[in-house]
Every structure is written in structure tokens, then in C-alpha cells.
Structure 1
Amino acid sequence: MKKNTLITYACLLLVAAITVVAGQQLAQQKTNIRVWDWAAWALLLAGLPFALLQQPAGLPDWWQPGISNKKRILLPLLTGLLFAIMDVIVFVVILHPQPYESMPPFLQPFPYSVGLYVSGAFEVEIFYRLIPLTLVLCIAKKAKASAKTWNILFWLLAVLTALREPLEQLSDGAVWVLVYAFVTGFAMNFMQAVFYRRAGFMASLFTRLGHYMLWHILLGIYVEYVQLAYLN
């Protein structure tokens, strides 16, 4: 199981490395390109020891036998996609119905966007969930905490980690938009923690990939090749 985890981690590191090189080259040709550097890539290595400590923490391994891919991949992917659909309705259909005249900051040219947002999702999940959940729960297991204490710690971590992203993304705007962004941001992150417990880290990652697939990648393709192409 650890072998499969290492292979998966290596593949994601490779995608991120390709993204660093591609982004630096693309930035010489186009403006407003979000570029990763090698320092950002190196930070991804911080999660590697924690990826190998899932069972000592009481969590499923990344590719735990006995857990179906429906639970590990399909359901999380669809959940992330559902949250992305809601975001498109609110932030694009309702708040920005007019066509974009240039690529907005949260979108990037395709196919560079695929590598960027896959790598971005991996980075977020390392620091939002993989490290904090594994670290605290592993310490609890080492301290021979009771199942009840471990359970309390997990749900506390689920709430705290779910609060991080919506709090970091608070901005000015209409009250209903701020409430929507906070509630849905918390809800998706909380669901990711639940999926993590049930099916492992990959379930949490696929939830975010489902969201990014529509919100960042497919929407970016639409804006770049339909809206902007029409304007030109």
C-alpha cells in the first residue's frame, strides 16, 4: 500500500514539476500567467512523511484495499462538481452574466490550467488536511488515546480545517454573497474531511479536483475558446 502511495505522490510531483517549467515558458509569451517556482514545488515534499503515516494515525491508506473507487473517487468527484456548479451559477450566471473580455485571475490558458490546478489542489490538500490531520491523530494514537478521544479530535480537526479556506477568502461584497461563499466553502471542506476519514486522502483530493475541474479548467476553456474567441 505504501508503494502505491509513493508512486501516486511521485506522479503528482512530476505533474507539478512540468507545471513549473511550462509556466515559466508560457509567462514569456503571455501576460497574467500564474507561475509556480521551484521553491513552491519543494514545499510539496513536506507532505511525503505524513502520506506514509496514515494507518498509524488511524486513517485509511491512500489506496486502502476494501474501499471501492466509488467511495474513493466517484462520490467525492461528484460532490466537488456539485459545489462548482453552484459557484458557476452564483459568481458567473448571476453576478457576472456579461462575457469576459479577458481571462479573469482565477482562470488560466488551457492546457496549462490542467497542470496548474491539479498541482494547486494537491498543494492545498497537503497543508489543509494531510499534515494537520495526520500529525494530530498520529500523536493521539502514539499516546494511546481512547477511541472516544480520537473521535473527538477528528471532528474538532474537521471543523477547524474546514474553516481555514472560507476565512482566508473573505472579501468585500454583498452580504448574501459573503454568506454563500462562507457556508459553501465550509461545507465542501468539511465534506472533504469526512471523505478522508471514510476513504483516505485521495477522496479528499478528488473532491477538490471535481471542483477545480469545472470552476477553473472547464470554465477557463469556455471563456478562452468561446467568449474571447468571439470577441476577437
Structure 2
Amino acid sequence: MLLLYFNGWFAKNILMPLVTQRMVAIACVLLLPLVTVVYGNYWVNDNSMLRVWSFTTWCWLLPAIPFLWWQHTLRLPDVATFTARLWKPFVIGVAFGIADVLIIKGILHPQPYDSLPPFLQPFPYSIFLYTAGAIEVELYYRLIPLGLALWGIQKWVHTRWQTFVFSLIAVLTALREPLEQWPDGVWWFVCYAFGSGFLMNLIQAMYFKNQGFWATLLLRLGHYSIWHIALGLYVQYVELAR
């Protein structure tokens, strides 16, 4: 998040051509996942406990570059545009993360863990891994499918029907993640997990249409900052330290 605001400040206060601003913004998207690859593979003596990104995984981010570059042609904010309103989706994501911690850790698993569960990673590697993961998810769950949808809608759908068609596609794409991560457990938890996952993805789709890629990414980063990173810190340095 600091990288995004630094780039926005830099572009605003130090004159740069718009093309250069886009290049810097896209470099921000690619840089941290690349650092994650190097960190997991070369900066630790034993990475057997880490979920390591390979260079091949990082290369799968590259096909999204044209979608980032031409985002402004879809009547979305330019990828080089950073506004003060971007804190709002981040806070919404934090709220989803807090809810997950209260439900899953507070109610379903109040007892201390004896090792890091699969959805947590050691700190500070967790910062890099889950930021890279958020970028990957938002590129392939949001930017590419909804970018293609917006392009097709604006090209072939009558203006009167564009909002309806996009809303339908947004609902369908919002179903993807909760269906892929269908949980086990008691019925109310299954309903909660599916409902919260669907709602968060749907809100992200709406933010994507109105504020572009950075808004939807920051919403997911807000969620991950609590659910994956802050909870991981607590488990690693409080529960496992006892």
C-alpha cells in the first residue's frame, strides 16, 4: 500500500509523462511478487515450511500487463491514478478479515494452535506471500475477466443494458472463489464462509467498475492483512511461544 501512495505522490509532485507513470505503477504490481520468489527460494536457509513461489508462477502475472496498461480505455481510472479514496476499500477488507478471525479463530478454534495452520505463514515472509497472492487473485479473478467483460459490453451491448449485463457478470465472477473454496463444517459456518466470500468478491467487482484495479486489490489486501498476516503474527509469537 505504501508503494502505491509513494508512486502517486511521486507522479503528482515530480512531473512524469503519463506513460512513465503507468510503467511505474505496473512495476509496483510485478516487483513484490518477484521479491517473494527470491525471498522464498534464496533468502532462507530452510524453506520447507514455506509456501514458495516459483519464477514460473511469477511469469504467469505477465499476461495481465496489457490489461493494466489499457485499463483507462474501459472507462476506468488510469492504472497510474491514485486517489485518497483508496483507503475505503482497504478498511472494508479489514472488516471482512476481522469477521473471519472472530468466527473461525474465536468461535470455531479458540484453543491454541500447536503449529502454523496451512492458511498462515511465518512472519515476515507472510507479508510478501500474501501480497503476491492478492495480486495474483485480483489479476485473474477480477482484472482479466471483468476487463474482457467491460470491453465486450461497451462494444456490443446497448447502453441501456450495460449496467444490467455487467452486474450479472459481476455476480457470476463473485461466485468463483467461494465455490472453489467450499468449506467443511457445520451448516452455519458453510453459510457464513460462502456468503462472506461471495459478498466480498461482489463488492470488489463494484469497486473495480468504479475505481479500477487498485481499489479491488486494496480491499483484498485489507482482508489478508488481518486474516493471514495479523492472525499469523498472533499464532506465531503468542500461541506457539507458550
TM-score of the alignment, normalized to the shorter chain, above 0.5: yes
Q: 1:142 to 1:52 in 2, by over 3 A?
A: farther
Q: Does 2:96 match 1:83? A: yes
Structure 1 segments (4+ residues) deviating >3 Å: 25-28
For 1:56, the equivalent position in structure 2 comes to 73
8 Å Cα contact 1:27-1:35 kept in structure 2: no
Decide which of 134, 144, 147 is 2:147's aligned counterpart: 134
In structure 1, list runs of 5 or more residues that go unmatched.
none
Question: Root-mean-square deviation (CA), in Å?
Answer: 1.7
Distance 2:64 2:53 in 1: 18
8 Å Cα contact 2:134-2:217 kept in structure 1: yes
8 Å Cα contact 2:25-2:80 kept in structure 1: no
Distance 2:126 2:19 in 1: 30
Shift of 1:157: 1.8
For 1:122, the equivalent position in structure 2 comes to 135
Q: Mean alpha-carbon deviation: is it higher for 124-133 or for 152-161?
A: 152-161
Decide which of 27, 33, 57 is 1:40's aligned counterpart: 57
Distance 1:54 1:79 in 2: 23
For 2:84, the equivalent position in structure 1 comes to 69
8 Å Cα contact 1:58-1:138 kept in structure 2: no
Equivalences for residues 13-32 of structure 1 within 5 A: 13-25=30-42, 28-32=45-49
For 1:201, the equivalent position in structure 2 comes to 213
Distance 1:153 1:186 in 2: 18
For 1:155, the equivalent position in structure 2 comes to 167
8 Å Cα contact 2:40-2:52 kept in structure 1: yes
Shift of 1:27: 6.5
8 Å Cα contact 2:69-2:79 kept in structure 1: no
For 2:105, the equivalent position in structure 1 comes to 92
Shift of 1:127: 0.5
Shift of 1:112: 0.7
For 2:14, the equivalent position in structure 1 comes to none
Q: 1:30 to 1:23 in 2, by over 3 A?
A: closer
For 2:120, the equivalent position in structure 1 comes to 107
Distance 1:80 1:127 in 2: 19
Equivalences for residues 147-226 of structure 1 within 5 A: 147-226=159-238
Q: 1:155 to 1:3 in 2, by over 3 A?
A: farther
Distance 2:54 2:153 in 1: 36
Query: What secondary structure is seen at the aligned counterpart in 2 of 1:140?
Result: helix
Q: Which amino acid aligns with 1:150?
A: Q
In structure 2, list runs of 5 or more residues that go unmatched.
1-17
TM-score, reference length from structure 1 = 0.91
8 Å Cα contact 2:183-2:193 kept in structure 1: no
Q: 1:148 to 1:6 in 2, by over 3 A?
A: farther
Distance 2:196 2:146 in 1: 21
Q: Mean alpha-carbon deviation: is it higher for 28-37 or for 38-47?
A: 28-37
Higher relative contact order (CA 8 A, sep 6+): 1
TM-score, reference length from structure 2 = 0.87
Partner deviation per Cα, 1:46-86 (whole Å, 9 max, x = no partner): 11111122232232223447xx422xx21100100001111
8 Å Cα contact 1:64-1:200 kept in structure 2: no
Q: Which amino acid aligns with 1:110?
A: F
**What percent of counterpart residues are identical?**
47
Partner deviation per Cα, 1:139-193 (whole Å, 9 max, x = no partner): 33234x3322321221112101110110000032111110000000000000111
Distance 1:93 1:79 in 2: 20
For 2:5, the equivalent position in structure 1 comes to none
